[in-house]
Each structure stands twice: as C-alpha cells, then as structure tokens.
Copies of this chain bind each other. A is one copy, B any other.
Amino acid sequence: MTAATSPASPDARTGHPTEAGVGARSRRGDGDRTRQTILDAADRLLMESASEDAVSIRAVADAVGLTAPTIYRHFTDKSHLLFEVCAVHFDRFDREVIAPVAERVEDPIEALREMAHAYVRFGLEDPEHYRIMFMGHADHTPEQYDDHQILSTGCFGTVVAVVERAVETGRLRRIDGGPLMTAYVLWSALHGIVATKVAKPNMPGPAPTALVEAVIDANLHGLAL
C-alpha cells in the first residue's frame, strides 16, 4: 500500500503506523487509536470478503500488524468487535439517511416510501453487516445489543414517529396495536426482502426495488378487491 513500510509485515518494527497497521508498539495512551485501527480493519475485511467467516481474529490481527491475542486487550470478544463494526454503519444510516428524510419530506407517506427504499438499499450495500446485526444467532449477540438496543440501532424509532404523524394527520388507518404495530408490519416486509437477498443473492425473483414498490403499494392500498 504505502511506499514507506511494508504494511502489516509480521516482524516489521519499522517505526510508525502504516495505513492499516500499527507498526511499533503504541504509546501508553494510544490504546484507543489501536482500537480504532482494529475496528477499521475488521470493517474493511468484512466489506471486501463479504463473509463473516473470512474475518477471523487472526486475519484482523494480521491486517493491523498485531497478533491475535492482542485483539482481546481491546475487545472482549469476536462478537463484540463485529457488532461494534456493524453498529457504526447502522448508526450512520439512521443519522445520515433516515433522520434527514423524516425532516426533509413533509408528506409522511412519501417519507415512508423513501425510507423503505433507503433501508433496502442500505441492507444490500453491505450485506454482511446486515446479516450480523439482524440475522445472527442471539447467542452470538453481545448483551448491550440485546432487546431494545438493537431496535433503536435500526432506526426503528424514527419510523414509528413518522407512522404516528401519518396516523394523526389521517393518512394511515389506526390499527390494533397502534403505530408501533404498523411500523412492525412495514418493517417485517422490508426485512423479509433484505434478508432474502442477503442470504440468497442469486435466488430468482423480482428485483428488490420492484418488490419494495409492490410491498408498499400492497400495504397502502390493499390487495383485496
């Protein structure tokens, strides 16, 4: 990568951190910088390999020029590392995509439609992140991501708020279970679309974009005659 030093070479004590590597032993307070370097490397590995299996502790360690046990000084667990990597993506998605739509788009229906497309686009962009966050075994999930946390991470609250606005302005029916249930209904369908495409990218079927349109239309206007 860089010309200065061969990055992440096993025995290179060449001095300063390389692009992705750590290089010489970090200073006393530089643990956090190393931690961030590890996060970045894991993120990159996860995106490039598109498989959680390829992101082994040893692979991450190699990528940053450390040894495997050192990772455990910065992260308690492999699942903690991976979830933190994914949480960054989900947080940014909520902050930079969903929240702006909620503010920008006046019409709640149109806002929901835009969010739906953005959500599916986001899920399919880095499928492995989506898989780890929403499709992984609960036993492999760190405690802090259990239950409510994983929902708030997934921009669910923003959607509920928009649904509430739509119900209050008379754009959506009020169903049993309230706006929360409505949000779950919509989210389930979108999650189904993403989860299918993430798990089986080559499965035949309609293009996600067309399916999202159909799902929204069906949920809004109904399929029955």
Inter-chain contact A214/B175, CB cutoff 8 Å: yes
Residues in A lying within 8 Å of B, measured CB to CB = 51, 53, 109, 134-139, 141, 146-148, 150-151, 170-173, 175-177, 180-182, 184-185, 187-193, 195-196, 199-206, 210-211, 214-215, 217-225
Q: Which residues of B contact A181 (CB under 8 A)?
A: 206, 210-211, 214
Question: How far in angstroms is the closest Cβ of chain B from A63?
Answer: 21
Question: How far in angstroms is the closest Cβ of chain B from A81?
Answer: 18
Question: How far in angstroms is the closest Cβ of chain B from A203?
Answer: 6
Q: Which residues of B contact A215 (CB under 8 A)?
A: 185, 188-189
**23 residue pairs bridging A and B, Cβ less than 8 Å apart:** A109-B224, A134-B199, A135-B135, A138-B201, A147-B202, A150-B203, A151-B205, A171-B224, A173-B223, A177-B206, A177-B210, A181-B206, A181-B210, A181-B211, A181-B214, A182-B218, A184-B206, A185-B211, A185-B218, A189-B192, A192-B192, A219-B219, A221-B224
Inter-chain contact B214/A170, CB cutoff 8 Å: no
Inter-chain contact B191/A195, CB cutoff 8 Å: yes
Q: Which residues of B contact A51 (CB under 8 A)?
A: 137, 139
Inter-chain contact B223/A220, CB cutoff 8 Å: yes
Contact flag A150-B200 (CB < 8 Å), given A51-B139, A218-B175: yes
Inter-chain contact B225/A173, CB cutoff 8 Å: yes
Question: How far in angstroms is the closest Cβ of chain B from A52?
Answer: 8
Question: How far in angstroms is the closest Cβ of chain B from A101?
Answer: 19
Contact flag A225-B141 (CB < 8 Å), given A196-B188, A204-B148: no
Sample of 15 more A-B contacts, CB < 8 Å, known A175-B217, A184-B214, A188-B192: A138-B201, A151-B204, A171-B224, A172-B223, A172-B224, A176-B210, A177-B210, A182-B223, A185-B215, A189-B192, A190-B192, A219-B222, A220-B223, A220-B224, A221-B222
Inter-chain contact A188/B189, CB cutoff 8 Å: yes
